[in-house]
Chains A and B, each alone.
Chain A
């Protein structure tokens, strides 16, 4: 039952924030903040309560679960379930949710109520994606998070918001519909084989598929997730959407929406189609490495602060893709840790971009220089997260990427070496960012206010979490472990070939 609350609090909170926003914008903000904090606390309690027994969780044994009939005509269930992977991603969701509300406190000044409605409903959709175990419900949540996200970009975004929002919507919608076709193909194949109409994840796992069918259906899923992830060459919506979105929108996009793609690959593509995924792995891993290098190089070439950070996402998520398709425990753990760490560090960089834009009304780095002298605290925080992004040992990103590289080494040395070059490229773009924006002489003679209390309150927890992930990742790793084990069991089961 607790799972429905996680979603309901956001939906109801969003509606309440909208209604109240007509009279008081401050009340609207406080409601949104309260809703996200409530959800975060709930997930934290779930984590603490189950922490002791995490290691004994076995296959198909969920921490929390909820299963209602929804549309019996098609065998559709309202089935939510939580395991270690979903739990940590949900915590990330609500953590970044709190950050998004706080960061919009001063930035968003028009239609405040409607803004929070959209923000909380995006989060609700994302929570639905991380929890759904019925493929129809998954698709429902997957599509539902698009509409509020579209509004976030289209209404509160920057100069080219129309273009960016429509591009974002079209890309994700088309790929989503391909996934719908794939889901239906799987559904009817399952029915032909077993006589049961069901969208249940655990039942579909055992669908016998001919290798051609598995290949095509897998591809349908893969494209949908690869667009969200994003994997090169399906990434072109990302720099536009991330750059044009308001700060909260960028944080949610980079921190969470991209993770839904990775989550889908991890939860659905490989376990549902182990054979086809195995065949496809070399292609996916090459795409991943191309993404790592290409994203890094493009990031290096940007002059727009947000666009630079956006391209680093392409690069970092390449590591996630690499880890998932390397498919051994080290690599999978690495991919999962990268998902969390990237959410925090890139989210924080977008927050900093937002703070700069608020103060300077530009994102152009050629107009920034020597900001350290006028905003030492903000610049220090930026340096910290840039170091996180380049994979400095001791911070979360390092742990994730290191594990991915270790895991990939067992599968392909060439790709590992190339991916390691990607880490090097990260050093270039991250340091260049710091150097151009914050170091040097303050030639434009900026006099800007440093971080205020609210902004410190946003960034300090992010710094702490990133340090914690880097220095003591064990709790996170051991929470992921049972999920990774059971996913591997699914994926390594004997493949039933359809006649």
Chain B
């Protein structure tokens, strides 16, 4: 490891360093505001460092990590999302009486894990990144130490551990067959190998592990419970950073290891995609709990992403990347609204909690409406361009069946988004429905910024489209 390697790794190093700093600072004296300030400053510094690092890209750092445009773009996306989540966390925890500072340490460590995932080029770093992310998440989910968060935390712990075992077994099988754990070398070894049972079994197990993390059907059962039980900012983190990083890795692994060409794998992912789109949207229809609705809707969104993933090539990478950007903005925004509306006693989870919100807090209802319409893919929002990109990717390789399923299932999705929207605009009951304290100005700024970003991406996406032109895993 020399100087150039250090520059390339700088964003990772900064985030890891800040997590240590926050820990030390907390040991000296607790101050919620200072902790947040330190976290945000560290994230901002790391964000800045991605440009420093881009001067040396593409740079493989040892066999484990590769810093290329693809990693750097996802670094920025992850850091920006964590930045917003950290502010929402501050807003959320300020209303509660408990030790608050440790959550920021966990947040930063989890971010390091996610960043390792998106830059990994080797099974070892893949697994390390995944576990760093997961282990921090166990604690984050159960952070409030009340019965429901604890239940969710345990559930996540058991299932994540089991899926990690599957993943490891799969990696072992692939390694046993190919003798390498590097993605790039696997691509060479895979040339000419067809229908190797051990290899296919290994791939299947790896897909199981990844599928669990992405919460795609049939590995989705944990999602609604964990989404519901975790504190809202943590839910936002799971929905965006954790899943986004995993998807970025999925793309890199299957594209650069050449495994996407395998017939069985395409078939498996097609089934998973169709299942996720349909089941996610149908199951969301049955819910009355807003967090569970968003959980099921996220399953469907992962299904949409898989449609683009299956297309392969540059267009697919662009489509997935843009969709993830739009999805991050939208999801953090939607959970941000729930977080801002939460009280010391709980979160507004039921649909009924939103009845007549527009008449009491029009701005908040407006933000939530924009987020929901973006999830539904209505024009002038980021979600529309994202969905357009995915449908275009599908159409470019003539996958009509998948696209039509996507379209039909996203229309099913409209039902529950509209239900929620209609609820917000319904005439309020006589009793005051929202007793939530007004949002702190920071929470408001985040929501306003996200809404602005949402519209900007939806109306004039050129800068981002330009940015993702040269994002392709090396």
On whether the two chains bind one another, the answer is: yes
Q: Could you tell me if B422 and A147 are in contact, using CB atoms closer than 8 angstroms?
A: no
Q: Could you tell me if A184 and B422 are in contact, using CB atoms closer than 8 angstroms?
A: no
> Which residues of B lie under 8 Å from residue A28 when comparing CB positions?
none
Q: Which residues between 91 and 149 of chain A lie within 8 Å of chain B, taking CB atoms?
A: 111, 139-140, 143-144, 146-147
Q: Could you tell me if A174 and B411 are in contact, using CB atoms closer than 8 angstroms?
A: yes
A74 vs B322: C-alpha distance when bound (angstroms): 14
A interface residues, how many (CB within 8 angstroms): 30
State whether the Cβ of B388 lies closer than 8 Å to any Cβ in chain A. yes
A18 vs B396: C-alpha distance when bound (angstroms): 42
Q: Could you tell me if B395 and A181 are in contact, using CB atoms closer than 8 angstroms?
A: yes
Given known contacts A72-B462, A177-B407, A184-B395, is B418 in contact with A166 (CB within 8 Å)?
yes
Q: Could you tell me if A181 and B425 are in contact, using CB atoms closer than 8 angstroms?
A: no
State whether the Cβ of A4 lies closer than 8 Å to any Cβ in chain B. no
Most buried by A among B414, B418, B469: B418
State whether the Cβ of A169 lies closer than 8 Å to any Cβ in chain B. yes
> Which residues of B lie under 8 Å from residue A72 when comparing CB positions?
462
Given known contacts A71-B462, A73-B462, A180-B391, is B378 in contact with A174 (CB within 8 Å)?
no
State whether the Cβ of B6 lies closer than 8 Å to any Cβ in chain A. no
Map CB proximity to A onto B283-327 as digits: 1 under 8 Å, 0 otherwise.
000000000000000000000000000000000000000000000
> Which residues of B lie under 8 Å from residue A185 when comparing CB positions?
395
Given known contacts A147-B373, A166-B418, A173-B414, is B391 in contact with A181 (CB within 8 Å)?
yes
> Which residues of B lie under 8 Å from residue A111 when comparing CB positions?
359
Q: Could you tell me if B373 and A180 are in contact, using CB atoms closer than 8 angstroms?
A: no
Q: Could you tell me if A181 and B403 are in contact, using CB atoms closer than 8 angstroms?
A: yes
Smallest beta-carbon distance A11→chain B, Å: 11
Q: Could you tell me if B391 and A73 are in contact, using CB atoms closer than 8 angstroms?
A: no
Q: Could you tell me if B388 and A180 are in contact, using CB atoms closer than 8 angstroms?
A: yes
Smallest beta-carbon distance A136→chain B, Å: 8
Q: Could you tell me if B414 and A170 are in contact, using CB atoms closer than 8 angstroms?
A: yes
Smallest beta-carbon distance B330→chain A, Å: 16
Q: Could you tell me if B410 and A177 are in contact, using CB atoms closer than 8 angstroms?
A: yes
Map CB proximity to B onto A138-165 as digits: 1 under 8 Å, 0 otherwise.
0110011011001100110000001001
> Which residues of A lie under 8 Å from residue B124 when comparing CB positions?
none
A177 vs B461: C-alpha distance when bound (angstroms): 21
Q: Could you tell me if A173 and B388 are in contact, using CB atoms closer than 8 angstroms?
A: no
Q: Could you tell me if B373 and A188 are in contact, using CB atoms closer than 8 angstroms?
A: no
Map CB proximity to B onto A178-201 as digits: 1 under 8 Å, 0 otherwise.
101100110110000000000000
A151 vs B469: C-alpha distance when bound (angstroms): 37
State whether the Cβ of B408 lies closer than 8 Å to any Cβ in chain A. yes
Q: Which chain B residue has the least Cβ–Cβ distance from A186?
A: B395
Smallest beta-carbon distance B297→chain A, Å: 16
A73 vs B393: C-alpha distance when bound (angstroms): 13
A72 vs B414: C-alpha distance when bound (angstroms): 30
> Which residues of B lie under 8 Å from residue A147 when comparing CB positions?
373, 378
Given known contacts A71-B465, A177-B407, A184-B392, is B378 in contact with A143 (CB within 8 Å)?
yes
Most buried by B among A154, A184, A187: A184
> Chain A at the B interface: mostly helix, strand, loop or mixed?
helix
Q: Could you tell me if A188 and B411 are in contact, using CB atoms closer than 8 angstroms?
A: no
Q: Which chain A residue has the least Cβ–Cβ distance from B468?
A: A73
Q: Could you tell me if B392 and A144 are in contact, using CB atoms closer than 8 angstroms?
A: no
> Which residues of A lie under 8 Å from residue B461 when comparing CB positions?
71
A170 vs B411: C-alpha distance when bound (angstroms): 7
Given known contacts A174-B407, A174-B408, is B380 in contact with A144 (CB within 8 Å)?
yes
Smallest beta-carbon distance A364→chain B, Å: 24
Q: Which residues between 243 and 272 of chain B lie within 8 Å of chain A, taking CB atoms?
A: none
A180 vs B388: C-alpha distance when bound (angstroms): 8
> Which residues of A lie under 8 Å from residue B410 when comparing CB positions?
177
Q: Which residues between 386 and 411 of chain B lie within 8 Å of chain A, taking CB atoms?
A: 388, 391-392, 395-396, 398, 400, 403-404, 407-408, 410-411
A185 vs B373: C-alpha distance when bound (angstroms): 25
Q: Could you tell me if B378 and A154 are in contact, using CB atoms closer than 8 angstroms?
A: no
Given known contacts A143-B379, A170-B411, is B422 in contact with A181 (CB within 8 Å)?
no
> Which residues of B lie under 8 Å from residue A178 when comparing CB positions?
407
State whether the Cβ of B175 lies closer than 8 Å to any Cβ in chain A. no
A140 vs B380: C-alpha distance when bound (angstroms): 8
A173 vs B384: C-alpha distance when bound (angstroms): 12
> Which residues of B lie under 8 Å from residue A184 when comparing CB positions?
391-392, 395
> Which residues of B lie under 8 Å from residue A144 when comparing CB positions?
378-380
> Which residues of B lie under 8 Å from residue A174 when comparing CB positions?
407-408, 411
A151 vs B373: C-alpha distance when bound (angstroms): 13
Q: Could you tell me if B373 and A181 are in contact, using CB atoms closer than 8 angstroms?
A: no
> Which residues of A lie under 8 Å from residue B398 when comparing CB positions?
188
**A170 is contacted by which of B359, B378, B415 (Cβ under 8 Å)?**
B415
Smallest beta-carbon distance B238→chain A, Å: 29
A165 vs B414: C-alpha distance when bound (angstroms): 12
A147 vs B418: C-alpha distance when bound (angstroms): 10
Q: Which residues between 336 and 387 of chain B lie within 8 Å of chain A, taking CB atoms?
A: 359, 373, 378-380, 384
Smallest beta-carbon distance A20→chain B, Å: 15
Q: Which chain A residue has the least Cβ–Cβ distance from B462?
A: A71
> Which residues of A lie under 8 Å from residue B392 when comparing CB positions?
74, 184, 187
Smallest beta-carbon distance B465→chain A, Å: 4
Q: Could you tell me if A162 and B422 are in contact, using CB atoms closer than 8 angstroms?
A: yes
Q: Could you tell me if A181 and B407 are in contact, using CB atoms closer than 8 angstroms?
A: yes
A178 vs B407: C-alpha distance when bound (angstroms): 8
A180 vs B379: C-alpha distance when bound (angstroms): 12
Q: Could you tell me if A188 and B422 are in contact, using CB atoms closer than 8 angstroms?
A: no
Given known contacts A177-B410, A180-B388, A180-B391, is B396 in contact with A188 (CB within 8 Å)?
yes
> Which residues of A lie under 8 Å from residue B425 when comparing CB positions?
151, 154-155
Smallest beta-carbon distance B288→chain A, Å: 16
> Which residues of B lie under 8 Å from residue A180 when comparing CB positions?
388, 391, 407
> Which residues of A lie under 8 Å from residue B359 when comparing CB positions?
111
A166 vs B465: C-alpha distance when bound (angstroms): 33
Smallest beta-carbon distance B422→chain A, Å: 6
Smallest beta-carbon distance A140→chain B, Å: 5
**A73 is contacted by which of B373, B404, B408, B465 (Cβ under 8 Å)?**
B465
> Which residues of A lie under 8 Å from residue B400 when comparing CB positions?
181
Q: Could you tell me if B395 and A188 are in contact, using CB atoms closer than 8 angstroms?
A: yes
Q: Which residues between 290 and 330 of chain A lie within 8 Å of chain B, taking CB atoms?
A: none
A181 vs B379: C-alpha distance when bound (angstroms): 15
Q: Which residues between 24 and 64 of chain A lie within 8 Å of chain B, taking CB atoms?
A: none
A139 vs B378: C-alpha distance when bound (angstroms): 11
A154 vs B425: C-alpha distance when bound (angstroms): 8
> Which residues of B lie under 8 Å from residue A154 when comparing CB positions?
422, 425
> Which residues of A lie under 8 Å from residue B403 when comparing CB positions?
181
A345 vs B419: C-alpha distance when bound (angstroms): 35
Map CB proximity to A onto B409-429 as digits: 1 under 8 Å, 0 otherwise.
011001100110010010000
Q: Could you tell me if A166 and B415 are in contact, using CB atoms closer than 8 angstroms?
A: yes
A118 vs B75: C-alpha distance when bound (angstroms): 39
A146 vs B414: C-alpha distance when bound (angstroms): 13
A71 vs B418: C-alpha distance when bound (angstroms): 29
Smallest beta-carbon distance B384→chain A, Å: 8
Smallest beta-carbon distance B352→chain A, Å: 15
Smallest beta-carbon distance A324→chain B, Å: 26
Smallest beta-carbon distance B358→chain A, Å: 8
Map CB proximity to A onto B46-89 as digits: 1 under 8 Å, 0 otherwise.
00000000000000000000000000000000000000000000
The 8 closest A-B pairs by CB, nearest first: A184-B395, A177-B407, A73-B465, A143-B379, A174-B411, A140-B379, A144-B379, A166-B418
Binding site for B on A (CB under 8 A): 71-74, 111, 139-140, 143-144, 146-147, 150-151, 154-155, 162, 165-166, 169-170, 173-174, 177-178, 180-181, 184-185, 187-188
Other contacts beyond A140-B379, A143-B378, A187-B392: 8, CB < 8 A: A73-B466, A146-B378, A166-B415, A166-B422, A174-B408, A177-B407, A184-B391, A184-B395
15 A–B contacts from the bound complex (CB under 8 Å): A71-B461, A73-B469, A140-B379, A140-B380, A162-B422, A166-B419, A169-B414, A170-B411, A173-B411, A174-B411, A180-B388, A180-B407, A184-B392, A188-B395, A188-B396
